[in-house]
Amino acid sequence: MSDTIAAIATAPGEGGISIVRISGDKAENVLCKVFKPAAKDALPLASHLLTYGHAFEGDETLDECMAVLMRAPRSYTREDVAEIHLHGGGSTAERVLRACLRHGARLAEPGEFTRRAFLNGRIDLSQAEAVMALIRSRGEQARRAAVRQLEGGTAAFIRQAADELYSIQAGLAASIDYPEEITDDEAIADLAPRIRRLAAMLRAAVDEQGARIAREGLRVALCGRPNAGKSSLLNALTRQDLAIVTAIPGTTRDTIRGEITLNGCLITLTDTAGLRETDDPVEQLGVARARKALDEADTVLFIMDASQPLTAEDESLAKELQKRDVIPILSKGDLPSVNNRETLCELFPKAEVVQTSIADPESLENLKRLLTDRGQRGDRLALTQPRHLDAARRAAEHLTRAAEAMETGTADLASVDLLAAQQALAEITGDAVEEKLLDRVFSEFCVGK
């Protein structure tokens, strides 16, 4: 932590600006070795003020640029931080970075600036991870989830749980230390339900699927019999000519993906081969891929041709999907209908049947509304990162065991599990973490952040 680090903070490739960032005790010193302000009276550099000048090495001018020094502790890392804003493109930034390294800075490791911000107490670990989640976010919903975490939403939720846990631990300690004043029965009556409530609150916050939807968007598979109109629907929803459409059943073989954004949520639509028994080896492979897409989907669009009667195959597939989130669709609504809604409603009693026709774009609005609702599922979650979900789940399990121990008269065992729950929660905010865990978290970062 004591050495001064440097890295290019901007993405490689052409762009308006490239930034070299330096952090550590020697940041000002290194900056002054590679940057000369244009105004003679600009030195020593004022903190947090962008100064015009030139980057140089020896007698050579490397670029016309701006630089800023942010003195500790008012900086990203809480150390002295300097930034040199150069013209975009990799080669100038690389030359300036190399000059910084020659003047005593060391190349930063991935995420090392953020790691310092965490170690210096400016942000907790969940906020540090949010920085990377924000950088990686695709779509408005993922961005919103990352910002909630960055602003301390996850930390606030976990600290609230941890506070209640400390209070329970204190109550248990008091009942063990002063058995004359607090009887076992009193302690159990007070503490066991509180432990169970806390476990339930954490379990409710662990919504793996919702969290994945918040991070990556909703996965939707388009399934149904050959010729049902799946590929036509994919093309109509994405307004692109992605999949081949013909009147020949069995046209689609590979799975075909399209993306749309509904109210900020990324929706990945996967068109699949029509499901049927077949001797054609190519079509069999297509059906296997269709089944895989079906298994991985959050939501299944079960598409049935309204102009054709329902077959036994339709019914058996519908039965198979009964435990899944299905939107039943009657396609080709512009053709004379022989397929009735009632049969579909019987097959999917809890679902709303949607009628579509590719001839009528308005008919897709209802379907989009249903997809939008599902995409919103991850919007209010306090926990969205897999690491946090895992730790919260472990905390909830320890709490359940602690409550059981209390209720069976083994309070000593309860305190062991309460402590384990407390440690699991502390892992999320980084209040108690091992170096190895930090290495793992920050290895996912990009260099320069």
Ligand X SMILES: Nc1nc2c(ncn2[C@@H]2O[C@H](COP(=O)(O)OP(=O)(O)OP(=O)(O)O)[C@@H](O)[C@H]2O)c(=O)[nH]1
Rule CB under 6 A: which residues touch ligand X?
A: 226-232, 245-247, 249-252, 273-274, 331-332, 334-335, 357-359
Stretch that binds Mg ion, among 57-65, 111-119, 252-260, 428-436 (CB under 5 A): 252-260
Name the nearest CA neighbour of 262 among 399, 348, 140, 109: 140
List the single partner that 170 binds among ligand X, Mg ion, none, CB under 5 to 8 Å by kind.
Answer: none
> Side chain identity at 383, as an amino acid letter?
L
Stretch that binds Mg ion, among 9-17, 127-135, 250-258, 275-283 (CB under 5 A): 250-258
Q: How far apart are CA 446 and CA 425, in angstroms?
A: 26
Cβ 343 to ligand X shortest distance, Å: 19
CB-nearer residue toward Mg ion: 20 or 234: 234
User: The tokens of 356 are what?
Assistant: 């579509």
β-bridge pairing 106-107 and 5-8: parallel
Cβ 279 to ligand X shortest distance, Å: 16
List the single partner that 358 binds among Mg ion, ligand X, none, CB under 5 to 8 Å by kind.
Answer: ligand X
Task: Determine if 154 is a binding residue for Mg ion (CB under 5 A).
Answer: no
Quote the DSSP letter at residue 144.
H
Q: How far apart are CA 247 and CA 308, in angstroms?
A: 14
User: Scanning the structure block, which residue is given the tokens 């075909």?
Assistant: 256
CB-nearer residue toward ligand X: 200 or 359: 359
Task: Determine if 231 is a binding residue for Mg ion (CB under 5 A).
Answer: yes
Cβ 350 to ligand X shortest distance, Å: 24
Name the nearest CA neighbour of 387 among 423, 418, 424: 424
Would you call the peptide bond into 226 cis, given omega within 30 degrees of 0 as the criterion?
no
List the single partner that 378 binds among Mg ion, ligand X, none, CB under 5 to 8 Å by kind.
Answer: none
Cβ 228 to ligand X shortest distance, Å: 4
- Binding letters toward Mg ion, positions 275-294, x by CB under 5 A: --------------------
Q: How far apart are CA 185 and CA 316, in angstroms?
A: 55
List the single partner that 250 binds among Mg ion, ligand X, none, CB under 5 to 8 Å by kind.
Answer: ligand X
Cβ 243 to Mg ion shortest distance, Å: 6
Q: How far apart are CA 30 and CA 20, in angstroms?
A: 12
Cβ 231 to Mg ion shortest distance, Å: 3
Among 114, 137, 238, 252, binds Mg ion (CB under 5 A): 252
Q: Phi-psi category of 219—alpha, beta or left, where left has phi over 0 and alpha has psi -120 to 50?
A: beta
Stretch that binds Mg ion, among 26-34, 68-76, 243-251, 323-331 (CB under 5 A): 243-251
Cβ 337 to ligand X shortest distance, Å: 11
Q: How far apart are CA 69 and CA 80, in angstroms?
A: 7
User: The tokens of 103 are what?
Assistant: 């003047």
List the single partner that 18 binds among Mg ion, ligand X, none, CB under 5 to 8 Å by kind.
Answer: none
Strand partners, 53: 37, 65
Q: How far from 13 is each of 17, 19, 90, 93, CA to CA, in Å?
A: 10, 12, 6, 11
Stretch that binds Mg ion, among 73-81, 227-235, 346-354, 360-368 (CB under 5 A): 227-235
3-class SS string, 149-190: HHCCHHHHHHHHHHHHHHHHHHHHHHHHHCCCCCCHHHHHHH
Cβ 359 to ligand X shortest distance, Å: 6
Q: Which residues bind Mg ion (CB under 5 A)?
A: 230-231, 251-252
